[in-house]
Structures are given as C-alpha cells and as structure tokens.
Amino acid sequence: MSTSAPSTPPSVAPMPSVSARDLAPGVIGMALVGSSVTVSRSLVGAPLFASQAVRYAAAALILVALARVAGVPLLRPRGREWLWLAGIAGTGLVLFNVAVVRGVAHAEPAVIAVAVASVPILLGLVGPLLEGGRPSRRVLLAAPVVVAGAVLVEGTGRTDAAGVGWAALALACEAGFTLLAVPVLGRHGAWGVSVHAVWLGAVMLAGLAVFAERPVSGAGSGPAAFVAGLGSLTAGQWAAVGYLAVLVTAVAFLLWYRTVAAVGSGRAGLLTGVAPLAAAGAGMLGGGAAPGPAVWLGLAVVIAGLALGLRGGDARAA
C-alpha cells in the first residue's frame, strides 16, 4: 500500500505594487469629480436635463477630436457591449448627475461627497469578481479607512430624508460608472469607453429634456422647450456647464478609466477618497472657511488608507 506525501498549499503571489504613473491619472480624475459637487450648485435652478445634455454632447465632440489627433482608433460596440455602455451612461452619467444636482438642493455638498467616497467598499467587493478574481484582503481593509477619512474631511453635513436618498443613489451610480466598464475596457480601452458612454449619455439626456423636463414658461413643449431651457441659462451656469464638459467629463473620464485598466477596479476604487478632499478644497476656494483640525485628521487617515491598499503585499482573497 503506497503512501503519498502530504500536499502543500499553493503559494500566494504577492500583489504587485503600482506605480505613481498608473495612479496619477485616477487621482487627478477624482479630484476633478470632487470639485464638480461645488460647481453643480450653480445648476440647481437650471433646466437639468437640457444643461447636462449640452455638457455631454460637447464632451463627446472634444473626446472624438482628441482621439483623432492622438491617432487612437475608436471601435464600434457590438452585441452585449451596447448594454454595458448604455448602463454606464444611464447610471454613471444620467442618474448620477440628477442625484448630485437634486441632492445639493436638499443636503450640503459634504453629504453627497461622503456618499461618493464610500464607493471603495463596493468596488473592493464587486470589482475583482467582475475581473475574474477575488477581493483582496488588503484592499478590503483599506476601504473603510479611506471612507472614515472622507467622513472626517466632510463631516456628516445637514440634510433631510430626500437628501439621504439622493446621496444613496449617487453612491450606487458612482459604483456603476466603474463596475459596468470592466467588461468592455479590454476591447475599447479608456478612449472607447469614454467616447461611447458620453455620447450615449448625451442622447439619453436630450430625450429626457425634450419629453420629460418641465418647459420654461411660455416656451411650449418638445424641442422648443429644450431650446428655451438653454436660453434661460445665465452666464455663470454656462461657465459651470463648460467646466463640467471639459474637465469633469472629457478629461476626468479618460484619466479615470486609464487607471482602472492599469491597476484594477478594486485598487482604483480607493482613489475615490480623493473626491471629498477636492470638494473641501473647492469649497474653500469658493469662499468657504479654512479647514479645521478634523479635516486635517481626515486627510491623514485617507492617505494612510491609500498607502495600505495600494502598496504591494499579500494578495489572499478575503
């Protein structure tokens, strides 16, 4: 009777460290997203769907022009890719911006920013599963640290029940913006995903502006109401739309998806902790009070969480 040697458990490869070059685009992209919370306050009284439709249409034209200049081929979506890309547009673009603009009417920007900063937990759990792996223990440990730091930075903020609901919707949509891109990033890359998601979002928002948005007084309905709604925008609101189109959409989308493709959605999700820091900084530049001790403590906690989750080490699944 033969005996066999006891089997040894397979070794676990260490999670590779990520370079600053891979992380920098995501950090900048999240900083731009964080600044959009404060900028969006100027659009509270504007026709929501019409202004956002113009924003994404302009961003799509910018992205296509930049892709041609850079010589980047844009592939036509096929099969189920249309569903993933439409999901990105519907959740990460349309519903997310509705949640932000409507949310800041019921809550302080801090409430929305903290909700967005809670995304690392969702991405750390679900993202690796979509990528064919398992959640990293290190990332799952770091995610609550980043969220705790974001809460310290922004505080809880004043809100009502509607504000809480809009904040929860913003959280879900921000997670969908990254998770739904995972299946199509391999073929389309950051450029393709950004371009297709943005023009699909522009079409969706234009349809909502024509058929669902309350028309400006005396403007009738349909396309006439859409044009009248754009005509009602003030110079400051047009400036906000331009900022959101160029920096928060065209630039930030490319930067974010580049980092997601390079380091994975779980690790990239930790960088959403940068958003509330940027929101606090934008609020201060807009005339807000200087950061207090809690903000500086929160900044230190966020940095500690990022250091924990982004450095190399044990990659065992949780």
H-helix or E-strand spanning residue 41? none
Residues 49/209, Cβ–Cβ less than 8 Å: yes
Q: What is the largest CA-CA distance in the chain?
A: 94
Residues 265/131, Cβ–Cβ less than 8 Å: yes
Q: Confirm whether pTM is higher than 0.85.
A: no
Encode burial over 6-32: b for 16+ CB neighbours within 10 A, e otherwise: eeeeeeeeebeebeeebbebbbbbbbb
Model confidence pLDDT, tens digit, residues 235-259: 999 999 999 999 999 999 899 888 8
Tell me how far apart the alpha carbons of residues 211 and 252 are, in angstroms, rounded to a whole number: 29
Tell me how far apart the alpha carbons of residues 162 and 215 are, in angstroms, rounded to a whole number: 24
Assigned token pair, 299: 């900044």
Assigned token pair, 51: 């202004």
Among 270, 274, 246, 250, CA closest to 260: 270
Model confidence pLDDT, tens digit, residues 159-194: 677 877 888 888 889 888 888 998 998 999 999 999
How far from chain centre, in Å, is Cα 1? Answer: 62
Model confidence pLDDT, tens digit, residues 41-51: 788 778 888 88
Cβ burial of 218 (10 Å; 0-12, 13-18, 19+) is exposed
Among 114, 112, 82, 117, CA closest to 97: 112
